[in-house]
Amino acid sequence: MEVLENIAISHSKSLIEKAQGGDEHAYGKLVGLWFKRIYNFSLKYFADHDLAMEVTQRTFIVVYQKISHLKASEQFQYWLYKIALNHCREEDRRRKRNRWFSIFGDDEVANIASKAGNPEKEYGNKEKTEMLAEMLNQLPADQKTVLIMKEYEGMKFREIAEVLNISENTAKSRLYYGLKALKKMLENSELNYKI
């Protein structure tokens, strides 16, 4: 899987250069390679399908408009995640102003439920997923972001540091404190879950 991902990322370089030259077909392929990763990142950030789709779409609109300004194609991944993260933060601020907080949307819960066969297990999975999403949203934004990038996106500390414009040690520290807080919340939860 990692080998295929590395091939896709190296293939991105030629697509980026073509897209910078105005090749819309290359841009479309680039979106195809990266859409799922940005969507998954946004979904973990918000735990809401609609918000994740909105952020992902806005991210690729900005990429389309500004790809010609990208100086080095090797920086594309970091640049892409920065754009997505900025849109996540912007949406987060907007939601807080409107005092509207979200857990997993009905579509996501239905998707989880449709994959399980046992109704009791479905309910348990749904409950755990919702509780984890709620706890993740209680973490400070800097810890939540690093945790999502590292644990869900599988990014290296070097990559996280590059995207967030922080040191690797700061990224490690944020992950440590985020996991520690999450562990405490889980242990104190109704599920009394130990990690």
- Per-residue pLDDT tens over the stretch 111-133: 544 444 445 555 556 677 777 77
Q: What is the dihedral of CA 25, 29, 32, 35, to 10 degrees?
A: -90
Q: Does the pLDDT at position 36 exceed 90? A: yes
CA distance 85 to 77: 12
Domain boundary among 42, 66, 98: 98
Please tell me whether residues 119 and 65 are part of one structural domain.
no
Q: Does the pLDDT at position 163 exceed 80? A: yes
CA atoms within 13 A on the CB side of 20: 14
Q: Which pLDDT belongs to residue 103?
A: 41
Task: Please give the share of the chain, as a percent, with pLDDT higher than 70.
Answer: 75
- Per-residue pLDDT tens over the stretch 179-189: 999 888 888 87
Please tell me whether residues 154 and 129 are part of one structural domain.
no
Say what the pTM is: 0.67
The CATH code of the domain that includes 168 is: 1.10.10.10
Domain that holds residue 109: 103-138
CA distances from 10 to 4, 15, 111, 152, 166 (A): 10, 9, 32, 22, 25
Domain boundary among 47, 66, 98: 98
Please tell me whether residues 126 and 36 are part of one structural domain.
no
Q: Which two tokens stand for residue 77?
A: 């991944």
Q: Name the pLDDT band for 104 (thresholds 50, 70, 90).
A: very low
Please tell me whether residues 117 and 28 are part of one structural domain.
no
Domain total in the chain: 3
If you average pLDDT over residues 85-104, what whole number do you get? 70
Q: Name the pLDDT band for 93 (thresholds 50, 70, 90).
A: confident
Question: Packing angle between helix 76-98 and helix 24-46, nearest 10 degrees?
Answer: 50
Residue whose structure tokens are 């190296």:
10
Q: What is the dihedral of CA 42, 7, 26, 90, to 10 degrees?
A: 20
CA distance 56 to 64: 12
Please tell me whether residues 110 and 156 are part of one structural domain.
no
Q: Which pLDDT belongs to residue 126?
A: 67
